Amino acid sequence: MTAALFLAPSLIGFSVFYLIPFLLGVYESFTDGALGGQFVGFSNYSELLHSASFRKAAGNTMLFTSVGVPLLIALSLTLALLLNRRIFLRSTLRTAFMLPLVVPVASVVTVWQIFFDWNGTLNAWLHAFGIARIDWMQSNWSMSIVIAMYVWKNIGYDMILLLAGLQSIPKDYYETASLEGAGLFRQFRHITLVYLTPTLFFVLLISIINSFKVFRETYLLAGDYPYDRLYMLQHYMNNMFFELDVQKLTAAATMMVAFIVILASGLLRAERRFRELTE
């Protein structure tokens, strides 16, 4: 009862502002009208799956996640391994990599716009070398630019989490392995990866969730209707909101949440099974 009393304010706020509106949205996705609509089953979902714009948005989002997240994990792990050693200016480098987290998104986007605009810095450099200008945000390069921004924004956070996981591994394991003749690669494979797996799964899950929240960056960078390669699920839902198409909006949101929940459950189950095998 004491715990329930302390948790009540947070639970009430979460229910009023998140849980109840989400459940109402799920209900609306099965009706044909926002107010007093009739139950129509999965017809909204069927119509959504047959929508070319939704399929394009879902495909772009999956592409962004499947490329950006592994790249972010690989770079974060590499930096964590480097900063786990005694190197020059280690504390300064840790702080430098964490700075993008405290910079407002609007400021970040402004800097990237200045760099990649038609009249921006990068095109000025290309022009100086006699190379034709490129409209970066209206070409297939646009996805690469947003992935680079996502990695740059989140690499410090993931690096700190992985660094904490690395520092929790007892150094005795490495000393014993070294005495037995194990090289750096074998130590990394059989010690570092094994004991870092719970942290890696957590970082992977957080990175996937953050990849679905990249809408602010793409919206500020390219607007409501960006180049086709940048048209994400959040763009689709945002446009459905402005068109007051509540049924498609709630159906798309429900499908995205269901996908994230299934993916998170699968990752947690895989991490639990891996832990049982290694114990």
Residue 75's pLDDT band (cuts 50, 70, 90): very high
Q: Which residue has the tokens 């095109």?
A: 123
Q: Is 223 a member of any domain? A: yes
Q: Is 25 a member of any domain? A: no
Give me the number of domains the chain comprises. Answer: 1
Q: Is 216 a member of any domain? A: yes
pTM value?
0.82
pLDDT at 279 over 70: no
Q: Is 13 a member of any domain? A: no
Beta bridge partners of 31: 39
Residue 150 sits in which domain range?
Answer: 42-278
pLDDT at 13 over 90: yes
Whole-angstrom distance, CA of residue 41 vs CA of residue 47: 12
Residue 16's pLDDT band (cuts 50, 70, 90): very high
Whole-angstrom distance, CA of residue 262 vs CA of residue 269: 10
Q: CATH number of the domain that 244 lies in?
A: 1.10.3720.10
Whole-angstrom distance, CA of residue 3 vs CA of residue 14: 16
Q: Is 27 a member of any domain? A: no
pLDDT at 36 over 80: no
